[in-house]
């Protein structure tokens, strides 16, 4: 049986219905192309099993390059992770090749083949959520950052959501709040579930019950505004407030909460303190008042992922998931100037 011929650029162009020049631009991530065109080229390349032809060198040689593969198209979480990883790699005299899959399995498969074909010494895979993701099966070391591998034996580094939630509760209790409720994101995701469960448990450990059951919704300001209406349903001005603090699962939710409280002429933090999570400055600093929140320390997380990868490249692989601690950032929404 004849061996399968290696796919060429012209084969991809024919399959995708574009010119060879367009294929080159898409695969090199250059030129002004529609996303639909780039996607069509990536899918054709993946279906044909195309990989770039790297310069030949002895198989055992080190390239002193590492692949940084991100699934996060917006870069909200992956960019700080990548910056931290790149700093650690540069200190180890390694260069980084960046690729983004935009949460597309076909695009990711193509990038993985390309990185392996370029003989990178290892790959750091950065996720867009903290939900476990499928492992990458390649003959080189891989470390997963932010989103852990579904294989517990793989090396993964992820933020310790429980640590951040406990820090928020301790802070709110420390400023005298006792009627605390948590407003969370999507209930099927790891981070909102963990933050909600730990918040409620931390209150019970302090001898308190949550002022209301956790409210789950979306990662949006509009959900934060609606959550306030649910929490204050039936309340009338002049009556005691049913809550004196709202712990939010993200800065985006918290900004919506602050907006709605201000519309209701309720003072933050005098009457109700509000906290966020993630320390996203676009939201946390633009909120009125600025948000007390949790810094995920993503650059440090990326640095640790790179350090684990460097160890694996040197023949000292790590296994399992490492959790990185968080930091409380107090601001005016809980009374800090």
Q: What is the pLDDT of residues 18-58, one digit of tens each?
A: 887 787 777 766 566 777 787 788 788 878 877 655 444 44
**What pLDDT, on the 0 to 100 scale, is given for residue 195?**
97
Q: How crowded is residue 136: how many other Cβ atoms within 10 Å of its Cβ? A: 19
Q: Which residues pair with 324 in a beta bridge?
A: 159
Quote the tokens at residue 159.
């933020």
| Sign, Cα dihedral of 110, 113, 118, 121 | positive
pLDDT value of residue 51: 62
Looking at every residue in the chain, the average pLDDT score rounds to: 90
63, HSE (Cβ side, Cα atoms, 13 Å): 21
336, with CB counted inside 10 A (0-12, 13-18, 19+), is middle
Structure token digits, residue 60: 């055992």
Query: Which residues have CB under 8 Å from 246's CB, separation 6+?
Result: 180, 181, 182, 183, 227, 228, 231, 254, 257, 272, 273, 274, 275
Question: In the predicted model, what is the mean pLDDT of residues 111-116?
Answer: 92
Which of the residue ranges 16-20, 67-71, 158-162, 182-186 would you say has the lowest mean pLDDT? Answer: 16-20
Across 17-26, 67-76, 315-324, the highest mean pLDDT is recorded for 315-324
Q: What pLDDT was estimated at residue 57?
A: 42
- The stretch 228-246 carries a mean pLDDT of 96
User: Cβ-count burial of 58 within 10 angstroms (0-12 exposed, 13-18 middle, 19+ buried)?
Assistant: exposed
Q: Given this model, what pLDDT does residue 62 score?
A: 78
Q: Is the pLDDT of residue 223 over 80?
A: yes
pLDDT at 292 over 90: yes
CA 200 to CA 165: how far, in whole Å?
A: 9
pTM score, whole prediction: 0.81
Q: List CB contacts of 208: < 8 A, sequence separation 6 or more.
A: 178, 180
**Whether the predicted pLDDT of 337 surpasses 50:** yes
pLDDT confidence of residue 251: 98
HSE-CB of 108 using CA atoms within 13 angstroms: 21
**Mean pLDDT along residues 140-156:** 96
Q: What is the mean pLDDT of residues 161-180?
A: 98
Task: Say which range, 106-120, 177-191, 222-236, has the weakest mean pLDDT.
Answer: 106-120
DSSP structure class, residue 301: H
DSSP 300: H
How far is residue 278's CA from residue 82's CA, in Å, rounded to a whole number?
17
């Amino acid at each position: 049986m004849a061996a399968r011929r290696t796919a060429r650029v012209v084969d991809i162009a024919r399959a995708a219905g574009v010119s060879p020049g367009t294929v080159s631009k898409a695969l090199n991530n250059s030129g002004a192309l529609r996303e639909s065109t780039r996607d069509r080229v990536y899918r054709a390349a993946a279906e044909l099993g195309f990989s770039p032809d790297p310069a030949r060198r002895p198989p055992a040689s080190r390239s002193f390059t590492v692949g940084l593969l991100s699934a996060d198209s917006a870069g909200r979480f992956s960019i700080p992770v990548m910056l931290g990883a790149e700093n650690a790699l540069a200190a180890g005299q390694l260069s980084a090749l960046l690729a983004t899959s935009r949460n597309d399995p076909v695009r990711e498969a193509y990038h993985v083949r390309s990185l392996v074909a370029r003989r990178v010494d290892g790959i750091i895979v950065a996720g867009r959520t903290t939900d476990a993701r499928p492992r990458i099966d390649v003959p080189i070391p891989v470390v997963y950052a932010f989103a852990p591998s579904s294989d517990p034996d793989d090396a993964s580094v992820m933020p310790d959501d429980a640590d951040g939630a406990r820090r928020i509760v301790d802070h709110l209790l420390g400023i005298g709040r006792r009627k605390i409720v948590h407003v969370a994101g999507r209930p099927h995701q790891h981070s909102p579930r963990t933050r909600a469960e730990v918040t409620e448990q931390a209150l019970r450990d302090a001898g308190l019950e949550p002022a209301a059951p956790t409210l789950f919704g979306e990662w949006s300001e509009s959900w934060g505004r609606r959550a306030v209406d649910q929490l204050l349903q039936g309340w009338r001005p002049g009556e005691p407030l049913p809550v004196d603090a709202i712990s939010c699962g993200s800065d985006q939710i918290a900004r919506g909460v602050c907006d709605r409280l201000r519309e209701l002429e309720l003072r933050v933090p005098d009457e109700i303190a509000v906290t966020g999570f993630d320390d996203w400055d676009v939201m946390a600093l633009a909120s009125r008042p600025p948000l007390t929140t949790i810094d995920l320390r993503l650059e440090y997380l990326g640095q640790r992922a790179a350090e684990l990868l460097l160890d694996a490249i040197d023949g000292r692989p790590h296994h399992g998931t490492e959790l990185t601690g968080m930091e409380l950032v107090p601001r005016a929404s809980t009374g800090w100037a």
